[in-house]
Amino acid sequence: MIAALIGWSTNWLAIKMTFYPLEFIGKPPLLGWQGIIPSKARKMAAISVDATISKIGTVQEIFDQIDPKVLAAHIIYTVDPRIEEYVDELMLREYPSFWENLPASARKMVYDRVRKSTPQLVDNLVDDISDNIEDLLDIKGMVIERLARDKKLLNRIFLECGDVEFRFIINSGLYFGFLFGLIQMAVWYFYPAIWVLPLFGLLVGWATNWIALNVIFRPLHEHKVGPLRLQGLFLKRQPEVAESFCHIVTHEILTVGNIINSILEGPKGDRARNMVKKHIKPLVDETAGMGKALTQMAFGPTGFATLKNQVGEKAIQISQSSFNNPVFEQDRARAVESIMVERMIALSSEEFQDLLRPCFQEDEIKLILVGAFLGFVAGVCQLVFVFGEAFF
């Protein structure tokens, strides 16, 4: 019974030490602990991306699944009711006297011209981004940055995908520990040496962790042994895990809002911003053309150039804020999720195991050694407190 308890407790602690605490507690670098996953968040995120997202969808495929036409329609739907508000806000900030003194009929002409030109402008802009999406969007970098910043989310991906396996690891410590305990009991009965209990405690702490980890991932492919079909527990659940993983990724990481922000703020953000401004400039020129002499005289050449730049900046701001709509984001997330789940289910066992395997491989020996050490300590305690009178 004590061996079973040692097996269960060491396995439970091994899982906890894999994920917690999120930040280092103690005195670095040696006196203290940080969960293995959080301590190497960037590396673990990179491994996860390489093992999954990079194999189940290219940047172009993901963007096409979001559907550029739907994006354009959503932007127009969001912007159109607020055209007057946007124009007023910009003009009153930059040229308040000019705008306030402009006749209402002239302001209405500006509103109408902007409203009329917006659909074509947005379509052209989204098409341009779609054609250059491979260069503008670094999905791997985007996901890694997100998970490296949010260690709790990184933990969640592993914990939700491997929930069944982690529970098995903990509970198997009880079963395997009990079996080792029967052997220990027999050895102790015939040979009650002082080293037997500490040694078996160490073996139980080490072996229960090692066996549990191997049962999860081995055998890699299904083998038939009589009526039994043997395969690693995690690999058997490939369809279920694929749905869980892809749901988190598409609904919390690869959202439309995050993708647009990554395009505009990422490594190629300057190019994306210039692309927006390039498509906005004709709108300003065309709108000002209704009274070009008046606007040139009111703003001057420099002021007019500044106005174009400010309109471009406003367009970028609108682009980033247009997707703060949970209903729209969930709809697009489901569209991307469907193709990713299908691709992930089709991965080979060798490729699929890499989703969860890295979280154990990284410092796996540490977990096994911690289990062995704790088992040894428990064996010593058992020797001292249960059989102490006979030896000491």
Reduced to 3 states, what is the DSSP secondary structure of residue 150? coil
Domain ranges across the chain: 1-390
What's the chain's average pLDDT? Answer: 82
pLDDT tens by residue, 38-96: 888 888 888 777 777 777 778 888 888 888 899 889 888 888 888 888 888 888 877 78
**Quick check: 110 pLDDT over 90?**
no
238: nearest Cα among 350, 349, 358, 359 = 349
Contacts of 130 (CB under 8 A, 6+ apart): 63, 64, 68
- Say if strands 31-33 and 223-225 run parallel, antiparallel, or are unpaired: unpaired
- Rounded to an integer, what distance in angstroms lies between the CA atom of residue 381 and that of residue 383? 5
Interaxial angle between packed helices 151-161 and 139-149, expressed in degrees from 0 to 180 and rounded to the nearest 10: 100
Find where tokens 């040696």 sit: 30
Confidence at residue 386, expressed as pLDDT on a 0 to 100 scale: 77
Confidence at residue 392, expressed as pLDDT on a 0 to 100 scale: 59
Band (pLDDT 50/70/90 cuts) for residue 389 is low
**Quick check: 288 pLDDT over 80?**
no
- Rounded to an integer, what distance in angstroms lies between the CA atom of residue 175 and that of residue 7? 8
Confidence at residue 153, expressed as pLDDT on a 0 to 100 scale: 92
Q: What would you report as the CA-atom Rg of the chain, rounded to the nearest whole angstrom?
A: 31
Helices and strands (H and E) in the chain: how many: 23, 4
Q: What is the DSSP letter of 197?
A: H
pLDDT tens by residue, 175-204: 888 988 898 889 888 888 888 888 888 888
Q: Which two tokens stand for residue 10?
A: 């060491």
**Quick check: 391 pLDDT over 80?**
no
Confidence at residue 327, expressed as pLDDT on a 0 to 100 scale: 86
Question: Lowest-confidence range among 46-55, 240-249, 265-274?
Answer: 46-55
Rounded to 5°, the CA angle 130-331-73 comes to 50
**Quick check: 1 pLDDT over 70?**
yes
